[in-house]
Structures are given as C-alpha cells and as structure tokens.
Amino acid sequence: MKRRLAGLFASLTLLATAQTAYSAPGSDLADQANAGWFAATAQLISVQPHAVVKTAGGSALMVSGFAQPRANGVFGIASNPDPAQLARFADELPSFNQPWVLRVRGDVSANPVAAAHGLNTVDHRSLTALPATEYRPLIGSPAGVTVRRVDGSAASTFLDIAVAATGVPADSVRNQFIPAVFDSPAASPYLVYVDGKPVASALAVRGGNAVITSYLFTLPAYAAHGYNVLAASAALRDAFIHGAKLAVAPSDPDVQPVLDALHFRAVDTWTTFS
C-alpha cells in the first residue's frame, strides 16, 4: 500500500498534523466548522444503502458501511457533548459490526467512554476551515490542462485514480465510488485532464451551509504539479456558487499542501480514539 487512503472519506480517514488550532474549541468558527462537518458528512454517506446517522446531546453516531474505522463511530460535535449520550452511542456501535472510533473536540489524552470500549490509541489532528468570503478562485490553467465538472458516469474514473494514488485494492473501496455519490444534488465532482487524460480528482459535498472536500487524488506520474489544487479549487467554487458558506477539511500530511494553497486555516483540534 503506497499510503493511507486519505481523503476517501475525507473527514474520517485523514491523518493528524502538528498544526496549531486557530480558534479554541467552543469558539464560533470552530462550532460552525464542526456542525458543518457533520451536516456535509451525513450528506456524503446518505447515498449509501446501509448508512446510519443519529444525533443527540451534542454528539453523533455515524455508520457509513465502509470498512475503514474512521468512517464509522461516535463523534463529539459540541465542544462539551453530554457524556451519558456519548456512552449510549458507544454502547450501540458494536451492533453494526463495523470497525469504529470515538472522537471528541480538543486536545485530550484520555476519555472514559473510549477506555471502556478498549479504544486506547490516541490521535490528534486539526480541523481546518475556509469561509466563502475568503475563497480566491484560481485563474486559468496550463496549456493542455482542462478542469471539468463530471457526474456519476465518471465514478469508475474516480476509483481508478484513487487506487493508483494509494495502492489499495479496488474491491476494498469500490462501494465508496458508486455513481450516486457523484450524482447527488449536493455533490460537486471535478476531474483534471492533461492532454485528454484524467489525472486528478476532487469531490465537494454540501450539507447545511457547509461543504467538505474529499477524493483528493492524483495519478503518481502527475503528482507535484498542483493538479489536485486545481480540482479542489473548482469543486469548492461550485459549492460556494450553490450556497455553501464555509468549507471544512481535516488536516493531513498528504492534503495539507492543497489546503495551504487554498488558504484553509486550523480552527479546532480533534482527538480520536481507536
């Protein structure tokens, strides 16, 4: 496996970075970003046949049906979710027979609910955000390069690019690339073509007033040319045109250059127990 399949389930599968949070947990922008992450992520998985989403007491239970642990779990949306509700959701998760995590906001080292379920591996990362008012679209593209909005008919192309970029077996992630993902009215799927060949991908999905970015992949032979930035910028532009007010994305070493190029900034810290 060349690298982790980061970005595939954007906010749930990304790795941590040491970036310092711009806003403290509980600040207005941090609260908006977390609520937006939930709304857009729920929208992303809503097309999956076995998806489950529940909310109560400032936390959420989300089951995507994907095999990645970070794609299923109990997630603290409020800065201080009701611990009893967090525990009830955690007690319910094993019944779905999927790997899962527990995530809370803030930089913490332990959580009693996580410990009770044997989730003892701790990971910290930043949640980044970009208000629509701060978005600056990229102007133009190099000769021979085309950025194109696509639909569900391009689902296999997204899968092929992701598999080539990450080295994971196609069958292990095929259910994440069904046409319904890209045909959703909330989706903004984009591909970058070089001399007619699709080489990079990005998907933006809107939920509420927010948008999340995912599927940020580039064919290895075309990496380090900024094609993923072109794809992501186009997807965000489309999402903002359709009414999104805030873009959110978990930070990850593989996608951080894209986030930096688009001027995302850290607004909160997530702690994940697995």
Residue pLDDT, tens place only, 101-119 = 999 999 999 999 999 999 9
Reported pTM: 0.89
Query: Which residue segment(s) compose the domain that 38 sits in?
Result: 10-127
99 with 119, same domain: the answer is yes
102 with 189, same domain: the answer is no
* Burial bucket for residue 22 (CB in 10 Å: 0-12, 13-18, 19+): middle
Which residue would you say has higher pLDDT here, 131 or 5? 131
93 with 157, same domain: the answer is no
Query: DSSP string spanning 70-121?
Result: GGEEEEE-SSS--HHHHHHHHHHGGGG-S--EEEEES--S--HHHHHTT---
Report yes or no on 3 lying in a domain: no
How far is residue 218's CA from residue 230's CA, in Å, rounded to a whole number? 11
Report yes or no on 83 lying in a domain: yes
Q: Which of 127, 160, 186 is the last residue of a domain?
A: 127
How far is residue 87's CA from residue 50's CA, in Å, rounded to a whole number? 23
How far is residue 131's CA from residue 248's CA, in Å, rounded to a whole number? 9
Question: In sequence order, what are the residues at sequence separation of 6 or more whose Cβ sits closer than 8 angstroms to the Cβ of residue 98?
Answer: 63, 64, 65, 66, 67, 71, 72
Report yes or no on 16 lying in a domain: yes
Give which of 240, 171, 226, 216 is closest to 194, Cα–Cα: 226
Tokens encoding 219: 């064919």
Give which of 27, 237, 26 is closest to 134, Cα–Cα: 237
How far is residue 92's CA from residue 74's CA, in Å, rounded to a whole number? 10
For the chain, percent of residues with pLDDT exceeding 70:
91
Instruction: Label residue 140 by pLDDT band (50, 70, 90).
Output: confident
How far is residue 81's CA from residue 15's CA, in Å, rounded to a whole number? 23
pLDDT at 26: 54
Residue pLDDT, tens place only, 39-80 = 999 999 999 999 999 999 999 999 998 988 889 999 999 999
188 with 232, same domain: the answer is yes
Total number of domains in the chain: 2
Q: Which of 127, 149, 170 is the last residue of a domain?
A: 127
